[in-house]
Structure 1
């Protein structure tokens, strides 16, 4: 008779009788093995050539053999393990042996002798670091595989030559102590006309001058006119244009020494370094486009409009407002702006601008380059070698196979795969034969050695083994063998007036390139008629 459990004060003997267990009943174990086989081996084709190589390499690799032994017993502490096995300690619970393949989860463990081969296979298609790591996450693993992938891609010539650096954090310029202390200038072209813009770093007040020609003398003439009006600045910042050459003998540098101001140039093709002038150029072009009839009135409106700090460029430069077409009271015109809080407000604005720029461009510092390091110049599409680190921030002097150029760090990508600069001529001076009759080449510079700054390298012609002429003659071009014409191989020499002695035949006439001059047949017939 069935009795509910709540009515049973003492459990009966049948409810506590255990179920007999038979050791030969292994149905659960079989199901577990089948499930593991299904999820782990369904994708593994043990007859695949690549998997066979991995299996053979694992069977011969001493590290893999030690890992197989550790799978059947308890792992010791990390300090007791050999050095080559300590990198596997953190993943010891994920290691397993399936069909003779040592795996970490569903990823095969690659022995050391196959890792370079697998890195090349992973980098097929020259994918980036992130996508190459994703490919490895599905198939293979070894200690520090992520770092090896990154090192492989950063040393790939094809990837380096088709990539670009990340932007570095913005370097805002410091606020000058007074107006017109530091100015920047730049040239720009608008509708077939060239203009020179000069902007003050303190007030952002800029002057615009139309240039008939882009000569240095024309720029100096405009600068003299502006400096006589606003005063001579302490420093002038320009780009690396030919008009602002940094050579001490250049015309602009002579003008700077005569008028007593310093000059600073930015790296070529890196306009961000001359940001104040570039911002003024952008504003000037906008005013020129929108106000073709009366540009001067638009320029006056800009100078009288307050900036982010609440002060206009005219107030910051002149200390007063400029009268324009708007109605102003006498009090507003004679009131002097209180600039005591301006440095702090300007500093907060520049700091906020830097934070927004760095966040928008995801900026981070690039590793500084060393003298003698080989790089890929992204804007020139050629290799070079660092020969000097300039005083300007992030600016380097780079030697290429043609010339020496200056570039910002943004345009320079390290090229660790180079041992010497391609296309350079090591021995450019004439070399004479030694006592044994063979020319001795000049010693090559080793990697990492600073190289002297060359101008332009010109390949020299092949040296003669017999003698070295004092003045080398031009090398003639290769000529095709032509039929010999004895009658036309020489030209009749001139005879001096009153002389009856004949002179021997002159050498074969040739062009400047070395090609022999052969007279046509009809010319020979006419010459014979004249002689007769």
Structure 2
């Protein structure tokens, strides 16, 4: 008569066999892996430990099998084949070949990992994938555009024309210069014969959008006057009020007292502007999933790509670095360009790569030091704190401190409220 343990072992064996049959690996390749496992000392030791029990301490495990110790709870044996969950364990002899198979199609890191999760596994597989993609020229050239960095906002100056932004732009075949006052948002537009351009900062680019909108109007001067007389959301006052101390007359009727010179309260303007920028930066950073990029140094080799370009084709060297405003001057074979940090991809030398090269990983030489670190979390916006902060998560006061700090997550529950018409009834 079969015991309960025998029945359990039979059920497990049936399940493992079913998984093996459903696995998308050809019989020929599966047999090659089986033979390679048989000739691999580490796999054979791990197979024996899996069948008869692992030592309690890693130091008691034979050296060839120690790389499997951390994953011992996920290992199983089916028909003499070592498995990790429902994935075939690939011995060292075939890892290079299987890695090439996983990388076919150049679909990036996540796609390679997904293919591996349904087929094969070996210790440190993620490192192999990262190194393989990082060393693939095609993958590097076709990387997506880098994430946007946390929004940097500018503190409101103390007075008009203390700080200005300027940018050049082309509109309908003509070149223009726009100058924007940071304090009042007052703008001036000038037509130019010849220009050489570089990427401006956020205020300048915002001014370019406003200028183009104005130049698209039938009457440019009426449109410019309307902009100067319209209050700005951030300050609550119009550009004319902040730069002239009075509202200007427009085509819209206005009572006489509104035209009497009166400077807006500077303290209130500054407070409102700070709060608006803090709120805008907070939502911008959340919406775009921003991430800080490491600063570049003079002499760094980089690839250059703009948002409209599909590949990182141009290579260059950083000649001038201004990380405070994320602006860099790069010399390329086609000339010298001024570029934002987001449009530059660092090419790290092999001895200081962020991830080890594929060749070094295969040879077992992993003694490499990361050159620069990139924070993985979303950074705090570069703004001064104010009286109001983003909404904080709601915590149930009845929960213990241990419950609050737990990393487990549950689905949100809908708050139900009994209708007033049923208050005299008992509802179950």
1:148 maps to 128
Instruction: State whether structure 2 residue 257 is matched by structure 1 residue 331.
Output: yes
- Distance, in Å, in 2 between the alignment partners of 1:353 and 1:45 is 49
- Distance, in Å, in 2 between the alignment partners of 1:157 and 1:369 is 21
Task: Report if aligned partners of 1:160, 1:413 keep a CA contact under 8 Å in 2.
Answer: no
1:133 maps to 113
- Distance, in Å, in 2 between the alignment partners of 1:161 and 1:124 is 16
- Distance, in Å, in 2 between the alignment partners of 1:340 and 1:69 is 76
Alignment partner of 1:307 out of 211, 232, 235: 232
- Distance, in Å, in 2 between the alignment partners of 1:313 and 1:45 is 66
1:52–1:413: structure 2 CA closer, same or farther, 3 Å change rule?
farther
Deviation at 1:138, TM superposition (A): 0.4
2:97 maps to 117
2:138 maps to 158
1:406–1:61: structure 2 CA closer, same or farther, 3 Å change rule?
farther
Q: Which runs of no fewer than 5 residues in structure 1 stay unpaired?
A: 1-21, 216-240, 243-267, 420-532
Structure of greater relative contact order (alpha carbons < 8 Å, 6+ residues apart):
2
- Distance, in Å, in 2 between the alignment partners of 1:88 and 1:69 is 12
1:396–1:281: structure 2 CA closer, same or farther, 3 Å change rule?
closer
Per-residue CA shift, 1:10-40, capped at 9, x if unaligned?
A: xxxxxxxxxxxx4799995796377236413
Instruction: State whether structure 2 residue 49 is matched by structure 1 residue 70.
Output: yes
Alignment partner of 2:242 out of 316, 339, 344: 316
Instruction: State whether structure 2 residue 359 is matched by structure 1 residue 398.
Output: no
- Distance, in Å, in 2 between the alignment partners of 1:302 and 1:275 is 19
Deviation at 1:155, TM superposition (A): 2.7
- Distance, in Å, in 2 between the alignment partners of 1:376 and 1:119 is 26
Q: Which runs of no fewer than 5 residues in structure 2 stay unpaired?
A: 307-311, 352-428
Give the number of aligned pairs: 342
C-alpha RMSD over aligned residues: 3.2
- Distance, in Å, in 2 between the alignment partners of 1:85 and 1:387 is 50
- Distance, in Å, in 2 between the alignment partners of 1:280 and 1:306 is 16
- Distance, in Å, in 2 between the alignment partners of 1:182 and 1:339 is 16
Deviation at 1:414, TM superposition (A): 3.0
Per-residue CA shift, 1:50-83, capped at 9, x if unaligned?
A: 2233223222323212212212333222453457
- Distance, in Å, in 2 between the alignment partners of 1:46 and 1:122 is 12
Name the SS for the 1:357 alignment partner.
Answer: helix
Instruction: State whether structure 2 residue 149 is matched by structure 1 residue 168.
Output: yes
Per-residue CA shift, 1:468-500, capped at 9, x if unaligned?
A: xxxxxxxxxxxxxxxxxxxxxxxxxxxxxxxxx
2:31 maps to 52
Mapping 1:414-425, distance limit 5 Å? 414-416=346-348
Larger radius of gyration: 1
2:168 maps to 187
- Distance, in Å, in 1 between the alignment partners of 2:3 and 2:207 is 90
Deviation at 1:179, TM superposition (A): 0.9
Task: Report if aligned partners of 1:155, 1:416 keep a CA contact under 8 Å in 2.
Answer: no
Q: TM-score, normalised by structure 2?
A: 0.70
Instruction: State whether structure 2 residue 301 is matched by structure 1 residue 374.
Output: yes
Instruction: State whether structure 2 residue 48 is matched by structure 1 residue 103.
Output: no
Deviation at 1:115, TM superposition (A): 2.4
Per-residue CA shift, 1:384-405, capped at 9, x if unaligned?
A: 3345534653333434345554
Deviation at 1:365, TM superposition (A): 1.2
Q: TM-score, normalised by structure 1?
A: 0.58
